[in-house]
Amino acid sequence: MPRVVVIGAGILGLATAYNLAKRGVKDVLVVDRAYLCGGASGRNGGGVRAQFSSETNIRLMRESIEICRDFATEMKINVWFRQGGYLFLTRTAARARDLEENVALQNRCGLPTRMLDPSELHRIVPELSSEGVRAASFNPGDGVVFPWPFIWGYARAAKDLGVTVRPFTEVVGFETRGGRVTGVRLRPTRLSPLDATDEVLPAGDPYTEACDDVVLCAGAWSPKIAALLGLALPNKPHRHEICSTEPLKPWLGPLVADLTDGLYFSQSMRGEIVGGVAVEPVPEGVNQQSSRRFLTTYARALVRAIPTMAGVRVLRQWAGCYDLTPDGSPIVGRVAEPSNLTLACGFMGHGFMMAPVMGRLLAEHVVTGQTSPLFARWGLDRFARGELEHENMIIG
């Protein structure tokens, strides 16, 4: 039987499974209701950054960026990792003060982040308009990757170590005994896999996979799955849209993010400008449909920031779901009951970038059974205690 069932075959679930196998756990099953890259991991902008407002996130992301830097060599797959930096902008006095405090903390944590006066922006992005900008920060060590190869790389490496990856498999229930999960009820939803190396059972009736541990990292779908165990999670799905332009000659080094309106954009290795912006209100629940309102809002914000983008054509747009928590920090760690369930969700819009280091930490957590101080701070019970872990550098 699989000793560990990982629910969610996004980058976090696959990174966890890979690290479990590396630590000698031979029986690992990863299940997902859709195809690889079908959720948020395959629908994000690919940014990886250490510019955060909490020491925990800063130190975690320093390590995660190191893993990203070595990923292509270790996994033998090109992820187009490019460290052009992150350039954060703000247009209000309050957010400018936040930015100054955050940069001071980042410096204490060893990051070379520096504050910029609006008049200095042209040194980093000559095309960027400084009109209305109150302050900016820049860390040259932040970067951008192409998300899909990260998922493929982890999936292939996990399978090579004996992990079973089973897409198109929906969780429909659990079997419990003595305050523990003893089995996961699954239902195949597709007859054949998209990837011949994935294991997909014939579509049909539900069946049970026995287990000793369960790791729930299904992103925006996590609350619905947790509810099958009578567990209420406070995180909510929030649609976030992105679009990509026609390819342009290389001109943009960093990812640019505006903390005021949630605008962000970067240039891919193929030349497209890929970005998004905050749009409210959004439909409730899990919704991955595109909207015309996003496209017009994004176009106005992008042209305000880069006036020369006015005539550029859009190739496509798509959407994914942020997994929002009340304090902007994840929910990670074991719960009181069932005692062998580990949560790993609520990563807002930065779950992809944290997954490389979190996958390693989650594997250690499952294997050793020990609760680290990090997971204690990010535990589900912090909401009942009122001890929240606020993060204010959230894009979108």
In three-state form (DSSP H/G/I as H, E/B as E, the rest C), the secondary structure along 247-309 is CCCCCCCCEEEECCCCCEEEECCCCCEEEECCCCCCCCCCCCCCCHHHHHHHHHHHHHHCHHH
Note the pLDDT of residue 43.
Answer: 96
Q: Is the pLDDT of residue 357 over 90?
A: yes
Q: For residue 89, what pLDDT band results from cuts at 50, 70 and 90?
A: very high
Single out the residue of 359, 345, 33 nearest to residue 219, CA to CA.
Answer: 345
Residue 326 tokens, joined = 């009340």
Q: Which CATH class is domain 4-43+148-235+327-385?
A: alpha beta
pLDDT digits (tens, 9 = 90+) for 65-75: 999 999 999 99
Residue 177, class by beta-carbon neighbours within 10 Å (0-12 exposed, 13-18 middle, 19+ buried)?
exposed
Residue 115 tokens, joined = 């504050």
Across the beta sheet with 236-245, what order do the strands follow? 114-116, 135-139, 86-90, 255-258, 264-267, 273-276, 236-245, 314-324
**What is the rounded distance in angstroms from the CA atom of residue 79 to the CA atom of residue 146?**
5
Q: 66-80, 174-188, 363-377 — which is least confidently predicted?
A: 363-377
Give the count of beta carbons closer than 10 Å to the beta carbon of residue 338: 19
Q: For residue 195, what pLDDT band results from cuts at 50, 70 and 90?
A: low
Give the count of beta carbons closer than 10 Å to the beta carbon of residue 230: 10
Note the pLDDT of residue 376.
Answer: 84
Note the pLDDT of residue 372.
Answer: 79
Q: 58-67, 132-141, 150-159, 199-208 — which is least confidently predicted?
A: 199-208
Single out the residue of 172, 333, 308 nearest to residue 251, CA to CA.
Answer: 308
Note the pLDDT of residue 259.
Answer: 95
Q: What is the mean predicted confidence (pLDDT) over 167-179? A: 97
Question: pTM, whole model, 2 decimals?
Answer: 0.95
Q: Is the pLDDT of residue 204 over 90?
A: no
Which amino acid does the sequence have at 156?
A: R
Single out the residue of 372, 375, 330 nearest to residue 354, CA to CA.
Answer: 330
Domain(s) of CATH 3.50.50.60: residues in the chain? 4-43+148-235+327-385
Q: What is the mean predicted confidence (pLDDT) over 106-116? A: 98
**What is the rounded distance in angstroms from the CA atom of residue 46 to the CA atom of residue 276?**
12
Q: For residue 214, what pLDDT band results from cuts at 50, 70 and 90?
A: very high
**What is the rounded distance in angstroms from the CA atom of residue 249 to the CA atom of residue 178?**
61
Domain(s) of CATH 3.30.9.10: residues in the chain? 84-144+238-322
Q: For residue 185, what pLDDT band results from cuts at 50, 70 and 90?
A: very high
Note the pLDDT of residue 205.
Answer: 82
Q: Is 185 helix (H, G, I), strand (E, B) or coil?
A: strand
Q: 98-112, 243-257, 276-290 — which is least confidently predicted?
A: 276-290
pLDDT digits (tens, 9 = 90+) for 263-275: 999 999 999 999 9
**What is the rounded distance in angstroms from the CA atom of residue 224 to the CA atom of residue 54?**
29
pLDDT digits (tens, 9 = 90+) for 140-163: 999 999 999 999 999 999 999 999
Give the count of beta carbons closer than 10 Å to the beta carbon of residue 206: 12
Q: Which CATH class is domain 84-144+238-322?
A: alpha beta
